[in-house]
Amino acid sequence: MISDRRPDEVLIATDAGAGAVPIWLAPQDNWKTALAHLSPEHMAWLEANGFDGAARKHVLLPGAGGTIEGVVLGIGTPDGASRAVAAATNLGALPPVLASGTYRLGDPAACDPTMAAIAWGLGAYAFRRYKANGTRKGPVLVMPETADAKHAMAAVEGVWLGRDLINTPPNDMGPAELELAVRALAVRHDGMVEAVIGDDLLEKNFPLIHAVGRGSGRAPRLIDLTWGRADALKITLVGKGICFDTGGLDIKPASGMLLMKKDMGGAAAALALAHMIMSAGLDVRLRVLIPAAENAISGSAFRPSDVIRSRAGTTVEIGNTDAEGRLVLADALALADEEAPDHLFTFATLTGAARVALGPDLPPYFCDDEGHASVIAAAGSAVADPVWRLPLTTPYETWLDSNVADMNNVAEGGFAGAVVAAIFLKRFVKKAGTFAHFDIYGWRPAQRVLGPKGGEPQAARAVFEVVRRMVGS
């Protein structure tokens, strides 16, 4: 971790809570009833401060001698099947605003205790690696006694890892540094890593990855992590690892490059999820494939109208060099598909069209297996990591036709860009049991209840819940 603190410094053991300040949750529709145990003086204090139970609004309860005797946090009026989870997510608003000290849930039964721990941990994150005053003390929460502490810590650590990777600027997070991060993760969990680097990509038949990365002085690579029993359920994750994207010869405008350090957000999400799975000890055979490259401009950069043969054997005409993510993913997906995994997931900051359709906070996913798609949607809602399904089977297959190759990497006209990109990827998946593709933004444009502005490995916690359900955890 390269954040200012570690997750185990903001979430502490259950038996370490002596003298901790209680946090009471109050729903907006009956906050007075929920807080009836408080003293008349504290109830009067809440009234005087205009407290009404609105979501994420908090009031400190004064104690003797200027101390804080408690914290009351409004949770709005959560409803639906995930009421307890929705209530718990409000805890994420407190770490940035509370003073240093130790806190605990006053009534763990008032919300989902595991989600409460996760929300607190996600809200406590801050990336201060490049700040002169990089370290800071902050509030800590006693792990709720009834929480699944192992699950909570796996989720929080995974998200922090993903955020760290995305937030790191591209001068310190190129393909080689991304490989080092994968190797460090493998060492921690006793996994194995292999990498195919530079011109070896051509020898090993990864021509699309090589083409995208050959214009950079930083060698492209295919990073391959494996973990778990060979005969367990096979889960394969593929994450787009474009460490910086100029757009190539179809260069982006300056404004379009400002956030391109996050173009490896798919790799960050895959690695965040991998950490969660391995930390939780889920009985799966996990494989993570990261095609890592920098899409740069030089005399050796690939060109519009080039035709490149993919690992799968199909030829691809380059209609736009700024649609490079799908190219590196295609070779990685072809490799993944060769061993016919039970479940194959891709994560990528792939299209602006996905943001136009659903905005930055609700990533779309594509899956043509109805049962699997339903499980994904339900899992995302259950853990407050929502995703929204877009169609994979459409009338748009012919939009990728090429006059000179088996397919183009883009369609003319600009319609349904996220769908077309997903169709392109699906052509490289033939043998996998199920396939789901997540077109994430990888960035939170403003502070929200579950984290600050900055990198975000979206959908990682949702798919963690999917995998937990698969193995009966």
State how far the alpha carbon of 318 is from the alpha carbons of 182, 183, 199, in Å: 30, 32, 20
Rounded Cα gap, residues 428 and 450, in angstroms: 35
CB atoms inside a 10 Å sphere around CB 155: 30
How confident is the model at residue 1, as a pLDDT? 42
E-assigned strands of 125-245? Answer: 139-142, 192-197, 221-227, 233-239, 241-245
Find the angle CA(432)-CA(373)-CA(275) to the nearest 5 degrees. Answer: 70
3-state secondary structure of 382: helix
Q: Kindly list the structural domains of the chain, giving each domain's residue range(s) and its CATH number in brackets, ordered by start.
A: 7-145 (3.40.220.10), 154-471 (3.40.630.10)
pLDDT at 2: 45
What pLDDT is attached to residue 16?
75
- CA 77: distance to chain centroid? 27
- pLDDT at site 79: 73
State residue 133's pLDDT score: 77
Alpha-carbon gap, residue 23 to 13, rounded angstroms: 17
Span 244-275, pLDDT tens digits: 999 999 999 999 999 999 999 999 999 999 99
Q: Which residues are catalytic?
A: 252, 326
Instruction: Collect the ranges in the chain with pLDDT lower than 70.
Output: 1-5, 80-81, 134-135, 473
For residue 4, what pLDDT is reported? Answer: 52
Strands 315-317, 307-309: parallel, antiparallel or unpaired by DSSP? antiparallel
Total length of the chain: 473
**Are β-strands 307-309 and 284-295 bridged in parallel, bridged antiparallel, or unpaired?**
unpaired
**C-alpha span between 392 and 437 (Å, rounded):** 9
Please answer whether residues 191 and 278 qualify as being in contact, where contact means their C-beta atoms are separated by less than 8 angstroms: yes
Helix (H) or strand (E) holding 464: helix 460-471
